[in-house]
Structure formats: C-alpha cells, structure tokens
Amino acid sequence: MRIAVDVMGGDNAPDQILKGCIQAIPLLSHDDRLVLVGDEDTIRDGLSERGHLKDPRVEIVPTTEVIGMDDPPVEAMKAKKNSSIVVMNQMASPRAHNKVDVVISAGNTGACVAASQYFMRRLPGVVRPGICVTVPTFSGPIVLIDVGANIEPKPSHLAQYGVMGEVYAREILGIKTPRVALMNVGGEEQKGTDLMRHARDMIRQFDNLNFTGFVEGRGVFNGEADVVITDGVVGNVMLKLAEGLSSGIFKALAHQVLESDPELVMRLESVIKSLYAKYDYHEYGGAPLLGVNGVSLISHGSSKDRTIKNAILRGKAFAEARINEKIVERLASVKMEQVEA
C-alpha cells in the first residue's frame, strides 16, 4: 500500500510530521510505502538525522510551494499547483501514474477537501462528501459527520451522511448496528428548521438504517447515538468545543489535585494519563473525507508526531477495510430520487 503524507501541512510542520512518519514505519508491512510530499531538502535532512534517508519503504516527492492555513482554499489550489496538497491529491487520482492509496494532511482543511474532490472525484451515488470524525464520549467513541466540508448542506447531503457514517461506525468502530441520529435543538418532532425535518423524513425512508430521530448536544455525550449527523458549521464548533472543554477539565483537575495533595498526583498519574488518552484527538489521527473516490484523511492543524503516526495507521485500516466499496453498496439500496440534490 502506498500512503502519501503532506510533510508541509500543519502548525507543527515539517518536524512533527516527519517524526510521526518515522514512528509509523516499523508498524507498517514490509511492502507498504510512505510517500513524503514536500520540500525535498527539508525531507532529506529530517530523514538523514533519524537514519531513514535510505529506507526502501520511504519515497520522496518534491514540491516547491505550500498552501498556508489562512490561504483561500480554492484560489490557493489553482494558484499553487506545485504545492504539497495539490501534488499529493493528484497522485491519488484514478488516472495517476504510480497511484497512492491514501493521502494525509494536517494542512489547510478547505484546500484538502477541494483538492480531494477535484482529483479523486466522488464515489458513485454520492451527492456531497463530508468529513467524518471519531469523537470520544463517556459511553465510548462515536462518529460525527460533517465537521467542516459542507457548511450549507441540503437534506439529501445530510441523509447520505447518515448512511456513510453508519458504514464507518460499523466497519471501523466495530459497532454491529449503529444508532444514527440527526443533531437538532430538541428531540421533539416539530423542533428545528425545515432542513432538519426534511432530512429526517428522508432518512426514515432508508431501508435497514437504525435511525433514532433527533438528538440534542447533551445526548451525544450521554450515549444516545453512535452516528451523529450535522452540518459543517455545527459539527466543527461542537468538535472544537469538546476538545477545549476536555483539555480544560483535565488541566483544572490536575491543578486542583496538585494544590491539595501533591503525593496524590503521583499515585494517580497513570490513571490520569490513561483517562486523558481516551479523550485526546491525537489518538484518532485523522478524519476521513467520506464520499470521495479514494482515501483522504484530514488531521488536526495542531497535529503532533503521534497524531500523524495514528493517521497513517488509520488510513491503512480504512483502505484495507474497503470502506468505499461498502459505502457504494449501501447507497445502492437507496432510491436515487430520494437523494437528488
């Protein structure tokens, strides 16, 4: 399997990205290849420092431009054709020579989404791809889709997110019959906008989908659903709010315990670290852009080495599980008139 990584993307690039790639190498199969995309001198220097410059499992694809985190996505993609994001996604095109199977970037999310859609195209039957993220909750991990790719969805988009998210939850999280719910301001039938109610009615028509109706924000973390559907704005805000809140709670807890009983901190250190790891986004690596005809993982802009390592492993697992084929099969059971844009 050929896994391409954007070495230049993210707040901590290139150092942390390269470190994560090197950490992943021993965990890959002997015939897997890591394709590092970015400034050639930077990549060579980083590999040389860590003794992997001549590793046969590592390939370098040089680029000369970088799409910044603040660059307008579509304009930057058109203007910076030799950027790491653009070149990497070109390599994932069905028509590419020496094609890569997975692309991973912690760079500009909008540019990643635009480039993946442009070069990979959509899976058959998919109306609009969405970013699917695994969110840790008090009842175990859940799937949240979308978290930023589609800020003005149509009912058909949300309906398909439910189907694609269900496949992901079943195949990757191992949930046999995922409960699918639509994020709303209340659980009552009459609550929400016309968009929410129309999407709900559309989803209810899908065969063999365990749709439970609307779910409120508090219900998400109380285990009321395994797949939560929402638009890109609400999903992104919810994701970052959860990240900030969990981080703040752990810091406040550690500070309070340290002040009251320093010895207790030492006794609880392993427990606190284990608990923190369960709610740490670095453990989940990256979020797949479901619906594109390929495997595109978008990692957090603040990704560290272990984030990238885990993203590489998750991307490999996604491809090996043939998630895209299963999404196409699942969508084929839905009548097309139900999901027209």
* CATH code, domain with 146: 3.40.718.10
Render pLDDT for 196-246 as a digit per residue (tens, 0 to 9). 999 999 999 998 899 999 999 999 988 999 999 999 999 999 998 888 887
Taking residues 129-140, report their average pLDDT.
92
Domain identity same for 151 and 262: yes
Range of the domain at 113: 1-126+291-341
Domain identity same for 263 and 179: yes
**Cβ proximity of 24 and 309 under 8 Å:** yes
Q: Which residues contact residue 6 at a Cβ distance below 8 angstroms, ignoring those fewer than 6 apart? A: 13, 17, 37, 38, 84, 85, 88, 103, 104, 105, 106, 107
Domain identity same for 90 and 33: yes
Of 235, 254, 281, the position where a domain reaches its end is 281
CA–CA dist 121, 94 (Å, integer) = 9
**Cβ proximity of 103 and 92 under 8 Å:** yes
User: How many residues comprise the chain?
Assistant: 341
Of 258, 281, 304, the position where a domain reaches its end is 281
Structure tokens at 43: 């990549």
Residue 219 belongs to a domain: yes
Nearest to 134 by CA among 320, 339, 290: 290
The pTM of this model reads: 0.92
* Three-state secondary structure of 262-299: HHHHHHHHHHHHHHHHHCCHHHHCEEEEECECCEEEEE
Domain identity same for 35 and 90: yes
Domain identity same for 141 and 260: yes
CA–CA dist 207, 330 (Å, integer) = 10
Render pLDDT for 110-133 as a digit per residue (tens, 0 to 9). 999 999 999 999 999 999 999 999
**Cβ proximity of 179 and 142 under 8 Å:** no
Domain identity same for 277 and 136: yes
Residue 272 belongs to a domain: yes
**Cβ proximity of 182 and 217 under 8 Å:** no
Render pLDDT for 10-41 as a digit per residue (tens, 0 to 9). 999 999 999 999 999 999 999 999 999 999 99
Domain identity same for 122 and 154: no
Report the pLDDT value the prediction gives residue 126, as an integer from 0 to 100: 96
Taking residues 72-77, report their average pLDDT.
96
Domain identity same for 26 and 74: yes
Domain identity same for 161 and 246: yes
Domain identity same for 266 and 141: yes
Domain identity same for 136 and 19: no
Residue 229 belongs to a domain: yes
* Domains contained in the chain, number: 2
Structure tokens at 328: 């196409």
Domain identity same for 108 and 231: no
pLDDT range class, residue 74, cuts 50, 70, 90: very high
Of 231, 258, 281, the position where a domain reaches its end is 281
Residue 286 belongs to a domain: no
Report the pLDDT value the prediction gives residue 47, as an integer from 0 to 100: 94
